[in-house]
């Protein structure tokens, strides 16, 4: 339909002009909105009404030809601007183009009321004799605080505001059709114009290359789709949190028991019954999933191999974490082989993507920026992606899967949703909340925004990090942290938590349930000289950098000053701790006093801590079909979700549950997204621009070694066992001696993996052998490097 958008002010700069321009752009693909200025119209003067000025008759002709009029009015002195009143007087004196014309009123103001008085007054004016306009009833679009409502691109920032504007405009379209039909006017059909140009087209776009995204992409490809899998992380950093996870997947043997166990962990938190049942059914069938889809002939049961088997329990309380809950006896964990924290599952999932490179294009360092939604049908038609430095629109014919993780490195979101000043990310550094922002823009409903998982020493802690640094995950037994003259304080210098209590993914017991303690800004481990000597005697420690982190002072007052704590509270905490230790009862935290020793004379020591975070759970709400829902709990067409972005775990958490969710709902999302859909866009004039060079598959040339040169006595060695894929070394070998080892290609992790890349070659050269000890904490990368060197040496011996 054709509409006239009338700017109700003659001001050069107007927020209401921006609002009309936003509507013109937002609804433009389906409705033709022509914006008309009033700043060139003369002030109304009845003496000049005959003949009517040409500028007025031109505007009147446009209004007469249009199907309706949208008036955007500011509020001046509790009313409309004089300039707008003047225009309405011209349009009701000798000519009457507004008679029986459907009108929609919108308006924004600097204050909170959104031009409400002006809109009310304008309704009265439009209803007066001589004007006779018909104003859309019961719909008031009042945009308060208008200066803060738009972003730098003059787009409305609040998705709920956008949704309400769309609702009002939809009502206005119906109103316009009804009024024009009543008064015998044929509704204008605007000629379609090309509004969208795609730079490329795929059947399915998957956003996020972690466990959920890799799974969704391969199952979409297996169902006949041409898939784009895009990720914000650069090569060598892709993989999301699965790259750093324990590689264990939650599994159950008995459906009814497993369902009872997960309901018990949810406690009073409600979860969609169909989704929960789908989730549990998938976990009960997880071993078969490993066999059928991951090509693992003999999946490893944690209970059979470790807990109840010959290998022994890896960690007490690992499976199940809540043994007291109904159904807990059925809980188990599954791995692809005997091993943990070695990226084995990630490498399996990644390889399945690589194996389908004819049907899956992978873009790395290519963050998704916006979902593209048809403004009328609400279908998600594509994604705006930053590729090679430019933003490009990529069409998704059948569906988009959001699988780009949570907001672990978005400090503002951590503060807004979790109420924590900061948290140390244990996993990837590339989960920056992009999926939440994109989902909010298109009206998705959110859930579980306060839920997150912790892990680490003490109550899920790590040593304090610097911005942009991953927290060091320490799971090795370290009783010296809670045995002796030592405790942990919060921001005010008082005890933070019970130091000797084993955490359940960062949770400690609290009033009948388990909760993550409220995060502190600068918690510290406090101990005395005797405890310091105890640490020294226990070397090597689980953290080889421990002593470099230590603060020292001769008194508690001086130590408090260094830690920015209240010295009086810290001294009182020490006094109480000593009293508890000497009298055999810890009235503060109920720690076993057998682990408590009173503090002796100084000096005293402190180490700064930080709460660790594995992952957030919050994000767009989804159903059992992996469809993402809007705020009315209806599926947003062609949009699916999987993984930790809007995860199902909302209260207590069992290890391996997120990876199980990635595999189960990644499969569902990929299969449903791949299904062919009817053309539902209201714009039939879409074109694809194939001239722009976006590059190919970033993993497509993984096996190419042609560009790597070798000189005399040099041999290339290759291993496919790296966390990030292929590892290639160039070994110089002569006279039975390894002279040099160069790592010429690798995509290992940036911290522990890098340590292996930096340190292991020298160790192998010194030993004249690949058979050296792995770098601590980097066993997977170490084994890949040793395997590559072994491969090169085999070539040298046979040369």
CA distances from 497 to 516, 588, 630 (A): 10, 9, 40
DSSP class of 480: G
| Phi and psi angles of residue 412, each rounded to the nearest 5 degrees, phi first | -65, -45
Domain map of the chain by residue range? 2-182, 205-451+616-688, 459-611, 714-798
Region of poorest pLDDT, from 112-126, 185-199, 282-296, 376-390: 185-199
Lowest mean pLDDT among 40-49, 179-188, 353-362, 447-456: 179-188
Closest alpha carbon to 108 in 6, 3, 14: 14
Q: Choose which CATH entry (1.10.540.10, 1.10.10.10, 3.40.50.360, 3.40.50.970) describes domain 2-182.
A: 3.40.50.360
pLDDT at 451 over 90: yes
> Cβ distance 756 to 771 under 8 Å?
no
Q: What is the CA radius of gyration of the chain?
A: 32
Q: What percent of the chain has pLDDT over 90?
A: 73
Burial category of 270 from C-beta neighbours within 10 Å (exposed 0-12, middle 13-18, buried 19 and up): exposed
Q: Is beta strand 604-613 parallel, antiparallel or unpaired with respect to 424-425?
A: parallel
Which region among 22-36, 75-89, 289-303, 731-745 has the lowest average model confidence (pLDDT)?
A: 22-36
HEC letters along 287-319: HHHHHHHCCCCCCEEHHHHHHCCCCCCCCCCCC
Q: Is the pLDDT of residue 687 over 60?
A: no
Work out whether strand 604-613 and strand 550-553 pair parallel, antiparallel, or are unpaired.
antiparallel
Instruction: Please say if the pLDDT value at position 193 is more than 70.
Output: no
Q: Note if the bond before 310 is cis, omega within 30 degrees.
A: no
Q: Quickly count: other Cβ atoms within 10 Å of residue 253's Cβ.
A: 15
Q: Is residue 12 exposed (0-12), middle (13-18) or buried (19+ Cβ within 10 Å)?
A: exposed
Q: What is the mean pLDDT of residues 201-225?
A: 97
Alpha-carbon span 600 to 332, nearest angstrom: 46
Question: Where residue 313 falls among pLDDT bands split at 50, 70, 90?
Answer: confident
Among the listed ranges 403-407, 558-562, 676-680, which one has the minimum average pLDDT value?
Answer: 676-680
The C-alpha angle with vertex 787 and arms to 785 and 789, in degrees rounded to 5, equals 70
What pLDDT was estimated at residue 28?
Answer: 75
Per-residue confidence (pLDDT) for residue 46, from 0 to 100: 87
C-beta atoms surrounding 512 within 10 Å: 6
| Contact call for residues 238 and 209 (beta carbons, < 8 A) | yes
Is the predicted pLDDT of residue 683 greater than 90, yes or no? no
**pLDDT the model gives residue 689:** 58
Backbone angles phi, psi at 54, to 5 degrees: -60, -35
The number of C-alpha atoms within 13 Å of 570 and in the hemisphere containing its C-beta is 28
Fold agreement between 205-451+616-688 and 459-611: no
592 pLDDT tier (thresholds 50, 70, 90): very high
pLDDT tens for each residue of 476-521: 899 999 999 999 999 999 999 999 999 999 999 999 999 999 999 9
Q: Quote the pLDDT of residue 67.
A: 94
Mean pLDDT of 646-651: 94
Pairing mode, strands 619-620 and 368-373: unpaired
Q: Given this structure, which CATH class describes domain 459-611?
A: alpha beta
* Cα–Cα dist 217/361, whole Å: 10
CA distance 789 to 787: 6
Provide mean pLDDT across the span 119-146.
Answer: 89
Q: Using the predicted structure, report yes or no on whether residue 697 has a pLDDT greater than 90.
A: no
Helix axes 255-266, 273-284, angle to 10 degrees: 130
Supply angle C-alpha 224, 227, 228, rounded to 5: 175
User: How many whole angstroms from its chain centre is CA 161?
Assistant: 22
Give exposure, 147-158, as e/b (b: 16+ Cβ within 10 Å).
eebbeeeeebee
| Of 187-201, 232-246, 277-291, 401-415, the least confident | 187-201
* 291 φψ region: left (φ > 0), alpha (ψ -120 to 50), beta (else): alpha
User: Could you report the per-residue pLDDT of 768-794, keeping only the tens digit for each?
Assistant: 999 999 887 778 889 889 999 999 999
Q: CA-to-CA distance for 518 and 423, rounded, in angstroms?
A: 11
Superfamily of 205-451+616-688 according to CATH = FAD/NAD(P)-binding domain (3.50.50.60)
**pLDDT value at position 189?**
57
**Mean pLDDT taken over the chain:** 91
pLDDT range class, residue 194, cuts 50, 70, 90 = very low
Q: Who wins on pLDDT, 681 or 87?
A: 87
CA distance 601 to 655: 42
Q: Is the pLDDT of residue 706 over 80?
A: no
Helix or strand run (H / E) with residue 401: strand 390-402
| Amino acid 188: pLDDT | 63
Looking at residue 330, the DSSP 8-state letter turns out to be G
Give me the mean pLDDT over the 234-238 stretch. Answer: 88
CA distances from 479 to 11, 121, 197 (A): 72, 74, 62
Confidence band of 377 (pLDDT split at 50, 70, 90): confident
Each residue of 596-637: pLDDT tens digit?
A: 999 999 899 999 999 999 999 999 999 999 999 998 888 999
- The set of residues, in sequence order, having a beta carbon less than 8 Å from that of 285 and lying 6+ positions away, is none
- Which residues, in sequence order, are bridge partners of residue 457? 461
Cβ atoms of 146 and 110 closer than 8 Å: yes
pLDDT given for residue 97 in this prediction: 93
Task: Tell me the backbone φ, ψ of residue 401, rounded to 5 degrees.
Answer: -115, 120
pLDDT of 373 > 70? The answer is yes
């Amino acid at each position: 339909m054709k509409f006239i958008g009338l700017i109700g002010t003659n001001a050069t700069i107007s927020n209401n002009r921006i609002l009309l321009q936003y509507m013109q752009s937002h609804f433009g693909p389906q409705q033709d909105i022509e914006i008309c200025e009033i700043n060139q119209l003369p002030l109304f003067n009845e003496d000049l009404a005959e003949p009517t000025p040409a500028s007025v008759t031109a505007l009147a002709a446009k209004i007469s030809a249009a199907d309706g009029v949208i008036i955007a009015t500011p509020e001046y002195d509790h009313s409309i601007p004089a300039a707008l009143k003047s225009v309405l007087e011209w349009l009701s004196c000798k000519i009457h183009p507004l008679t029986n014309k459907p009108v929609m009123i919108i308006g924004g103001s600097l204050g909170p009321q959104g031009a409400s008085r002006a809109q009310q007054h304008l309704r009265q004016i439009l209803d007066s004799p001589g004007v006779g306009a018909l104003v859309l009833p019961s719909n008031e679009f009042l945009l308060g605080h208008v200066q803060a409502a738009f972003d730098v691109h003059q787009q409305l920032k609040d998705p709920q505001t956008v949704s309400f504007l769309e609702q009002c405009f939809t009502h206005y379209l119906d109103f316009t059709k009804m009024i024009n039909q009543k008064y015998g006017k044929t509704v204008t059909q605007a000629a379609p114009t090309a509004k969208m140009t795609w730079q490329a087209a795929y059947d399915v776009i998957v956003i996020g290359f972690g466990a959920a995204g890799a799974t969704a992409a391969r199952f979409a490809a297996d169902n006949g789709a041409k898939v784009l899998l895009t990720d914000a992380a650069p090569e060598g950093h892709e993989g999301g949190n699965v790259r750093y996870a324990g590689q264990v997947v939650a599994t159950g043997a008995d459906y009814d028991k497993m369902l009872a166990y997960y309901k018990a962990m949810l406690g009073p938190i409600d979860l969609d019954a169909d989704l929960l049942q789908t989730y549990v059914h998938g976990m009960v069938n997880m071993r078969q999933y490993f066999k059928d889809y991951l090509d693992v002939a003999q999946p490893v049961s944690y209970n059979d191999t470790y807990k109840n088997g010959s290998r022994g329990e890896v960690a007490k309380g690992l499976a199940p974490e809540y043994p007291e809950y109904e159904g807990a006896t059925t809980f188990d964990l599954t791995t692809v082989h005997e091993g943990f924290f070695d990226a084995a599952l990630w490498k399996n999932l990644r390889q399945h993507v690589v194996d389908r490179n004819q049907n899956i294009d992978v873009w790395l360092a290519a963050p998704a920026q916006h979902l593209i939604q048809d403004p009328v049908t609400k279908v998600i038609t594509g994604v705006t992606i930053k590729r090679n430095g430019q933003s490009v629109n990529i069409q998704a014919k059948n569906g988009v899967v959001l699988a780009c993780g949570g907001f672990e490195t978005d400090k503002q979101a951590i503060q807004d949703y979790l109420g924590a000043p900061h948290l140390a990310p244990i996993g990837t550094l590339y989960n920056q909340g992009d999926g939440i922002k994109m989902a909010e823009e298109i009206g998705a409903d959110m859930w579980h925004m306060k839920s997150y998982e912790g892990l680490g020493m003490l109550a899920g802690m790590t040593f304090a990090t610097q911005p942009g640094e991953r927290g060091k995950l320490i799971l090795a037994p370290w009783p010296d942290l809670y045995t002796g003259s030592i405790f942990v304080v919060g921001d005010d210098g008082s005890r933070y938590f019970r130091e000797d209590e084993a955490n359940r993914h960062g949770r400690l017991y609290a009033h009948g349930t388990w909760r993550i303690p409220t995060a502190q800004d600068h918690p510290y481990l406090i101990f005395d000289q005797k405890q310091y000597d105890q640490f020294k005697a226990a070397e090597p420690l689980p953290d080889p950098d421990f002593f470099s982190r230590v603060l020292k002072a001769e008194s508690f007052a001086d130590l408090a000053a260094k830690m920015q704590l209240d010295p009086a509270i810290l001294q009182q905490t020490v006094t109480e701790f000593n009293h508890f230790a000497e009298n055999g009862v810890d009235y503060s935290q109920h720690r076993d006093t057998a682990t408590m020793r009173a503090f002796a004379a100084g000096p005293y020591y402190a180490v700064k801590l930080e709460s660790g975070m594995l992952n957030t759970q919050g994000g767009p709400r989804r159903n059992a079909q992996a469809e993402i829902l809007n705020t009315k709990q209806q599926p947003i067409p062609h949009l699916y979700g999987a993984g930790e972005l809007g995860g199902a775990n909302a209260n207590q958490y069992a290890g391996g549950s997120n990876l199980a969710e990635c595999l189960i709902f990644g499969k569902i999302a990929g299969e449903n997204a791949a299904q062919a859909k009817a053309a539902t866009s209201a714009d039939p004039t879409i074109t694809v621009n194939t001239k722009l060079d976006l590059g190919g598959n970033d993993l497509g040339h993984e096996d190419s070694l042609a560009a790597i040169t070798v000189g005399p006595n040099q041999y290339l060695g290759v291993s496919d066992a790296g966390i990030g894929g292929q590892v290639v070394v160039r070994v110089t070998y002569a006279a039975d001696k390894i002279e040099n080892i160069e790592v010429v290609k690798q995509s290992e992790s940036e911290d522990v993996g890098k340590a292996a890349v930096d340190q292991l070659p020298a160790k192998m050269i010194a030993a004249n052998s690949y058979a050296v000890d792995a770098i601590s904490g980097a066993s997977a990368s170490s084994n890949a490097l040793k395997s590559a060197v072994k491969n090169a040496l085999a070539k040298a011996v046979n040369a």
